[in-house]
């Protein structure tokens, strides 16, 4: 049972992270929200959690490009939850697209910091508490780009492959400690960014939304469907459940068949 377990979900002010936070709260977890966002939007998220679930929801800000902020954030968690984090979901991320010859150094640094160094630092600083409690769940939201490449995404693909490797090392080091560590590798997820691109295609080619979605996704997902945020949230709940005690070190694709090709 995940009742009153403390879950820290990075990048939970939006998209997949917000969905995963809802999923865990629904199962009775207390949730720490973090990520960028307007004050009123963050307040609305906190209010919604309070209203919907009988769980505690706290917001702790941190810019994950900065190592010192990750470490400070882990210390701040103890002000609200002295026992520390039970479930860590490393999800925060962004993208920068550019050919490798002109890929800006600062974008490379920032992407590697948020997608790879911040998860490393969260794991490093949170694992001692998990070991002490003999229970923990580390879930890294990687991407199909953790196991496949696309052009013009040098930093993103390198960082996502990196977190798949980090996942395996942490799984080996924590094996038989009650802690598991896994990576989830989604294909295209049904987020506003995808929906906007599909609508643009639909308008341009006078297609229905569903036709445009199928056409847009056909090059990647044999299923021609995107992954639902709720579907990912349910999957994270399973990975965090007692039934997943022996699921560790895995990189699990949820991609409509993309990587089966
Ligand atoms: P999103 O843009 O909706 O949310 C990203 C979150 O990360 C936000 O809360 C944002 O504030 C936070 N964030 C970004 N930079 C940060 C920083 N420097 N410090 C602190 N927080 C920061 O994105 P999403 O689509 O929900 O993606 C979430 C994760 O899923 C990412 O790691 C992404 O690579 C991965 N992913 C997304 C898709 C997709 O199709 N959307 C597919 C595969 C993997």
pLDDT digits (tens, 9 = 90+) for 185-232: 999 999 988 999 899 999 999 999 999 999 999 999 999 999 999 999
pLDDT digits (tens, 9 = 90+) for 160-175: 999 999 999 999 999 9
Q: Which of 70, 68, 90, 231 is nearest to 159 (CA)?
A: 90
Residues with CB under 6 A from ligand 1: 11, 13-17, 35-36, 63-65, 91-94, 114, 141, 143, 186, 188-189, 191
For the CA of 90, the closest atom of ligand 1 is 32
Say whether 59 is catalytic.
no
- The best mutation among 9, 10, 13, 14 to test binding of ligand 1, ranked by most ligand atoms within 8 Å of the C-beta, falls on 14
Tell me if residue 2 falls in helix, strand or coil: coil
Nearest 5 degrees, angle CA 77-CA 78-CA 82? 130
State the ipTM, two decimals: 0.99
Residue keyed to tokens 């002109």? 102
Question: Which are the contacts of 195, defined by CB distance < 8 A and separation ≥ 6?
Answer: none
Alpha-carbon span 9 to 20, nearest angstrom = 8
The residue annotated as part of the active site, out of 53, 59, 156, 220, is: 156
Side-chain-side CA neighbours of 158 within 13 Å: the count stands at 17
Residue 67 φ then ψ, to 5°: -55, -40
- Do β-strands 136-141 and 30-33 pair in parallel, antiparallel, or remain unpaired? unpaired
- The residue whose two tokens read 């007692």 is 242
Q: What does each of the 261 residues of the chain score in pLDDT, given as a tens digit?
A: 688 999 999 999 999 999 999 999 999 999 999 999 999 999 999 999 999 998 899 999 999 999 999 999 999 999 999 999 999 999 999 999 999 999 999 999 999 999 999 999 999 999 999 999 999 999 999 999 999 999 999 999 999 999 999 999 999 999 999 999 999 999 999 998 899 989 999 999 999 999 999 999 999 999 999 999 999 999 999 999 999 999 999 999 999 999 999
Cβ neighbours around 78 below 10 Å, total:
12
């Amino acid at each position: 049972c995940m009742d009153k377990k403390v879950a820290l979900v990075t990048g939970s002010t939006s998209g997949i992270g917000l969905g995963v936070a809802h999923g865990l709260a629904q199962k009775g977890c207390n949730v720490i929200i973090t990520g960028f966002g307007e004050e009123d939007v963050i307040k609305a998220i906190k209010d919604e959690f309070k209203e919907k679930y009988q769980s505690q929801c706290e917001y702790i800000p941190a810019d994950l490009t900065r190592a010192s902020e990750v470490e400070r954030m882990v210390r701040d968690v103890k002000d609200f939850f002295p026992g520390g984090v039970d479930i860590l979901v490393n999800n925060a991320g962004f993208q920068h697209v550019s050919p490798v010859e002109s890929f800006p150094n600062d974008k490379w640094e920032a992407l590697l910091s948020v997608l790879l160094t911040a998860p490393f630092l969260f794991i490093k600083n949170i694992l001692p508490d998990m070991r002490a409690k003999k229970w923990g769940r580390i879930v890294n939201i990687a991407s199909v780009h953790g196991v496949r490449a696309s052009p013009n995404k040098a930093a993103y693909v390198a960082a996502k492959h990196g977190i798949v490797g980090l996942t395996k090392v942490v799984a080996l080091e924590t094996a038989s400690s009650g802690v598991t560590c896994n990576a989830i590798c989604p294909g295209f997820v049904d987020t506003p960014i995808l929906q906007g691109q599909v609508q643009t295609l639909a308008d341009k080619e006078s297609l229905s939304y569903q036709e445009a979605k199928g056409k847009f996704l056909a090059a990647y997902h044999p299923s021609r469907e995107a992954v639902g945020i709720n579907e990912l949230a349910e999957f994270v709940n399973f990975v965090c459940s007692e039934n997943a005690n022996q699921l560790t070190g895995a990189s699990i694709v949820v991609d409509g068949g993309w990587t089966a090709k």
